[in-house]
Chains A and B, each alone.
Chain A
Amino acid sequence: MTIELIVVETLERKLADVQVPPVDVASVRRVARGRRIGRIGGTAAAVVAVLAAVSALVIGGGGGPDTAIDPVAIPTMDFTPGLRGFYDSADQATHLAGQTFQLDSALDPGTSATATPFGLVFFDQDQTVRLLPADGRVRTLAASPVRADGAFAPTVRYDPSRGLIAWLTSSDGQVNLSVYELVGPRLRLIGSYPAPCSGADCDQAVVAGIDQGLVFAHDAGGTSVLDPLAGPAAEWTHVTDGQVTDVKNRVVLAYEDEPTPLPDLLVAQGWRKTLAQGPDSLLTFDGNYELSGSTTLASTTGGRPLTLGIPVGSGPVTFSVDTDGSVLAASAEGDQDVFWDCMAAINCVELGRVASTDSGPMFLGRGH
């Protein structure tokens, strides 16, 4: 057989097996009409509208709502040093990987977002899960046609140890956990499970964390853990009546009135628990220190505390942990919030300053 025939046969066979997304003629028409307006009017605004519509077309794959995110306004980014994401409430500007741009209301910094090596994963108002990757072209990871029920707010967290991403969304009064493997802009479903909550408690259900493939979720009634890699039969196990605020490197950070032992499931896998100083406390990437409002980081192993190498500001320090493992910190200095990226806690570089607002410093991709 000649090389030409082998190529023909290979292309026919391989491409016949490719899953083809359905063409959305309605979206195509919508974009095309925008192009016509652009040609006739010739205004910059029309061109932007068309590009936004193209973006929405690509984002939504035709199935989702037309969330007009202007790709022109989002530059290409380098996520090598981490996402370094924070938000300027006063100017409504997004700071990501050293770039500053304005993203429309699709990215609400008040809602959950999580930093991943592939970009920022966030929700829009309809619980559709979006990915903002380094190329600046926002993509839809999972479309959802419904808004959240009642007071419920969707949450998402990423597990760098397993490359898994988990989120809670609600529909028809039911809160569900979805767990996927995140590979670039694509997802591979691991499983979907009802959240461990019922009734009004579900309004407060959040993904508290995901580490080593185990998902922790809490509501008003406490925190439970689930192993989605166990398959469809995976079940929730109660961890504490309190709140697990973070999990990293087999360390559970729990905010609870009465300390309780970890369930056998976790103990058997080498997990340990440490008590959180506050409900917003986080762990460093290695799980060895707690990040909780102060430049002094308490050790979770009984060791000496670590002092973060940033100036002591006039208010509490807000934290996040970036995709490269560095600690992101923000504190007030005069009428400004100053944002820092600290590698190994002491080697800190200033990322930027924004005007302080009542909402305080806001990181993007903190999880919740």
Chain B
Amino acid sequence: MRSELDFEEFASDTSDRFFRTAYAITRDHALAEHAVQSALAAAYSRWRKVSAHDPEAYVRRMIVNEILGSGRRRPTTAPTEAPVRRYVASPEQQVVDTDAVWIALLELPVGQRAIIVLCYYERLSEVEIAATLGIRPETITDETSTALANLRRLLTVSRQGARA
């Protein structure tokens, strides 16, 4: 059994990445912070059981469910401005491409964005993503393909808009 000190270490070690994951899915600082804090509180309240298995998977699942659940409970709100600094160390074209991809990612439906973030940021397997979202791995395969196709479409539209 892990101790309370272990929980503190766990929260300290993981919360930054959890927040970034939550932020990428919610597009909202406050909602991301709320989701992470709530998930950590849920984990702490049953830390003995949670820590015996895979606490990261547990908290990640709670975060994603909180976000997707709140999206179902509340009407969709306009995305808040992404609180990110401009990336200035790369060549200009690369910055433009990165920005365009980021904007396209933010335009995906929240479910597809969650899959993309879990797959390409958290680097989870399809089985792990399926367990996180509580759906079948086959569905993850299909949804990932659909999300990438949507991304390509959004980027194509973006480039055409830039040329026009």
Cβ-neighbour of A23 out of B24, B36, B87, B98 (below 8 A): B36
Q: Are A15 and B74 in contact (CB under 8 A)?
A: no
Chain B nearest CB, measured from A166 CB (Å): 21
Query: Which 7 A/B pairs are nearest by Cβ-Cβ distance?
Result: A23-B15, A32-B44, A32-B45, A31-B41, A15-B20, A10-B101, A11-B121
Q: Are A23 and B97 in contact (CB under 8 A)?
A: no
Cβ-neighbour of A18 out of B74, B80, B84, B116 (below 8 A): B84
Q: Are A28 and B37 in contact (CB under 8 A)?
A: yes
A11-B105, A139-B30 as given contacts; A184 in contact with B45, CB under 8 Å = no
A20-B19, A28-B37, A61-B33 as given contacts; A35 in contact with B42, CB under 8 Å = yes
Q: Are B101 and A6 in contact (CB under 8 A)?
A: yes
Interfacial chain B residues near A9, Cβ < 8 Å: 98
Tell me how many residue pairs across A and B have CB atoms closer than 8 Å.
Answer: 115
Q: Please tell me the number of chain B residues within 8 Å of chain A, measured between CB atoms.
A: 46
Specify the main secondary structure of chain A where it touches its partner.
helix
CA of A6 to CA of B37 in the docked complex: distance in angstroms? 30
Interfacial chain A residues near B84, Cβ < 8 Å: 14, 17-18
CA of A35 to CA of B82 in the docked complex: distance in angstroms? 32
Within 1-56 of A, Cβ neighbours of B (below 8 Å) are at 3-4, 6-21, 23-25, 27-29, 31-33, 35-36, 39, 54
B91 contacts partner chain A, Cβ-Cβ < 8 Å: no
CA of A20 to CA of B23 in the docked complex: distance in angstroms? 9
Interfacial chain A residues near B42, Cβ < 8 Å: 32, 35
Q: Which residue of B lies closest to A185 (CB)?
A: B30
Chain A nearest CB, measured from B39 CB (Å): 9
Interfacial chain A residues near B21, Cβ < 8 Å: 15
B54 contacts partner chain A, Cβ-Cβ < 8 Å: no
B29 contacts partner chain A, Cβ-Cβ < 8 Å: yes
| 10 extra A-B contacts, CB within 8 A, seeds A27-B37, A32-B44, A186-B29 | A8-B120, A11-B120, A17-B87, A18-B83, A23-B36, A25-B7, A29-B44, A54-B41, A57-B37, A58-B33
